[in-house]
Chain A
Amino acid sequence: MDMHVYEVFQQQKEGGALVHSGNIQAPDDRLAIHYARELYGRRGESVRLWVIPRDHVLELTDPDLLKPPFDRSYRSVEGYRLRDKLASVRAAREGS
């Protein structure tokens, strides 16, 4: 039987994020839905499943695009060391 891989995403409660929960193999889309339900939904642990043929996933791994060569920490919140600042302000306020 010609099998295909499907990636399964699971939403545990309404409004929550769809989190990747694993993958399954199935010969076609209809059975993929059944198997996703059996493996990731039969115990009431999901309110929604996304079942996506792996072939349809667009993948990006290029390090030039994902790991830029220059230091960019100044662009991120951590670059401002906000946590330390906040902590000192909070300590000062509590002290007064």
Chain B
Amino acid sequence: MHPSTHAYEHGTDQLLRPLLLSLADDDFMLGYRDSEWTGIAPMLEEDIAMSSVSQDEIGHARALYEISVEMGRRATSDEEYGGSPKTIAREVDALAYGREKTEYHSSWLAEHHRGDWAFTIARRYLYETADEVRLEALSGSACTPLANVLTKVRREERYHTMHLRTWLDRLAASPAARPRLLAALHSLWPDALGFWEELEGEDSLVASGAMPLSSEAMRERWLTRITAELEEHGISGPDAGLTPRTGGRRGERSPGFEEFWAEVTQVYRLHPGATW
């Protein structure tokens, strides 16, 4: 089966689910985590910028959840697709807020608490550069609804990576911030490598063309790129042989997730299925 021609047939939605949800859940978690800077970022303008970037991520997550919802509906219904925007929004909410914790596919890198500003920038840098490689590869996906959405997402992400690189340059050059930045990068490398954990059903995803590159191939591309970039700042990449911290793509949640999740879903759980 080839997702480009049979994107909505039985089975394809199940095959694509881990791919769509890993993308969406990452953006969702990170969007929430970094939105926690709203009101307390280092300066007013950055407060607005960071809040806006975080909202963008949540918007990307929504667009990706919508694809998953749409595919699920088409695959399980013989009727012509005709969900009202309200129905779709409810199903997207259920997907975003209503799953069991073990049903999420997010990477631990995206789930961590924002930490201090250096940690936020370090995590965000690792995430955005990895996401850049991932989106670049997946915009050639044989799953056309995904490829189409990612083309739009990439236009916004271009700005996010510009913003992040500006901050990385600043912190790396600042005597006060540099040690914090290095410490944060050091603590995050295993999670950054774990970001590329093999997805459920990845062999089929690659064989069908839904993933033009395997997670491993993308990881190599990303490592080459950021190692060269960090070298310009005199910062070394991850130690060879460092063990990636994995599990996120297969339902294992990071430490601290429980508390975070209780907060994120607090309102949703008051009345699941409500239309906001």
- Chain A residues near B (Cβ < 8 Å): 1, 3, 24-28, 30-31, 34-35, 37-39, 42
User: Are B48 and A35 in contact (CB-based, < 8 A)?
Assistant: yes
B215 at the interface (CB under 8 A from A): no
**What bracket does the count of chain B residues touching chain A fall in?**
10 to 19
Alpha-carbon separation in the docked complex, A1 to B42 (Å) = 9
* B236 CB, nearest partner CB in chain A, Å: 25
Among B44, B49, B162, which residue has its beta carbon within 8 angstroms of that of A25?
B44
User: Are B159 and A37 in contact (CB-based, < 8 A)?
Assistant: yes
Query: For residues 15 through 48 of chain B, which have their beta carbon under 8 Å from a beta carbon of chain A?
Result: 42-46, 48
User: Are B49 and A35 in contact (CB-based, < 8 A)?
Assistant: yes
Alpha-carbon separation in the docked complex, A42 to B170 (Å) = 24
User: Are A31 and B48 in contact (CB-based, < 8 A)?
Assistant: no
Contacts of B166 in A (CB 8 A): 30-31, 34
Among B42, B46, B159, B169, which residue has its beta carbon within 8 angstroms of that of A35?
B46
B10 at the interface (CB under 8 A from A): no
Contacts of A27 in B (CB 8 A): 170
User: Are A39 and B45 in contact (CB-based, < 8 A)?
Assistant: yes
Contacts of B169 in A (CB 8 A): 30
* A62 CB, nearest partner CB in chain B, Å: 33
